Amino acid sequence: MSHRPNNQALLEFFLLPFLFLTVVLLGGLRVEAESRHFIFIAPPLVTLVLAVLLMLLLVRGDLIRIHQWVGSEHPPLTNVAHVWLFITVFFASAQAFNSVLPEHGLLHWMFSFFFLWTLWNNQFSSFDARRLLRSLAILFGTAFVLKHMLLASLYSPEGGWLKKLTGTLIQGVTEGTFDAPGFAPATGYIGFFTLTLYVAGLVLLAFTDNSETKLIPLPVVDEYRQLSASERPTVLGDPIELENQRNSETAQRETM
């Protein structure tokens, strides 16, 4: 007895929504540097625009399959569960961007423009699921390193090496441009955990394909079956055997 349907339902209706809801909660979480209090920063409007562009890429990359998730052939609860999963993916995407965007200032808009430009250009590129996942992992990984490692030194109240170097280079030119609230190092760990959960959720989305292989018989097989027992030996080869062989090879390719 196969447990695949049960595992599929557990993944789609429980595990994935739980992962993406966790990303929604953690994406805006910060730890204040001085008081060490938790603060929550709501996602800015630009993250919703970025999330829309990213959702379009997920649909084009076949990670989100609307035509399989929602349909008249599904029970109502299944359709509702899939719509709920779609909503959680959208808001998790917005919060993933929120976790790697600087909170305000020039760097906030520089990062936003970088994401907008990248996602917009990708709308006109060909993607499969594997290539899209690799591209998103690199995109979020780069943004994480820039914000939580390089810019964390720039924003730190103690004044890291990057802040001193930047201050020397741009002194008197962009005064106040790089001012930003300081956060505790724990914020970087929260951001790393958030992005890890988000990318892991996208990877698991690739395993939610419910489509089954449909074995379509060859037209010649139907004609062969209509022949009498005395007429069948006159046919070179056995079409039924050929069809079974073809179906077996197709099933093997699907399981690879």
Question: 71 pLDDT band (50/70/90 cuts)?
Answer: confident
Higher pLDDT: 50 or 155? It is 50
Question: 147 pLDDT band (50/70/90 cuts)?
Answer: confident
Kind of pairing between the strands at 38-40 and 29-31? antiparallel
Per-residue pLDDT of 77-131, as tens digits, reads: 888 989 999 999 999 999 999 999 988 878 888 899 999 999 998 888 877 888 8
The gap from C-alpha 76 to its chain's centroid, in whole angstroms, comes to: 25
The predicted model scores a pTM of 0.71
Kind and range of the H or E run holding 68? helix 66-69
Per-residue pLDDT of 220-234, as tens digits, reads: 555 555 566 666 555
**Which region among 3-12, 56-65, 148-157, 247-256 has the lowest average model confidence (pLDDT)?**
247-256
Kind and range of the H or E run holding 20? helix 16-26
pLDDT of residue 208: 74
pLDDT of residue 123: 87
Per-residue pLDDT of 159-192, as tens digits, reads: 555 555 555 544 444 444 555 567 788 888 999 9
pLDDT of residue 196: 94
For 87-145, give the DSSP string: HHHHHHHHHHHHHHS-SSSHHHHHHHHHHHHHHHHHTTS---HHHHHHHHHHHHHHHHH
Q: What is the mean pLDDT of the chain?
A: 78
Q: In terms of Cα–Cα distance, which of 96, 91, 104 is closest to 155?
A: 104
pLDDT of residue 37: 87
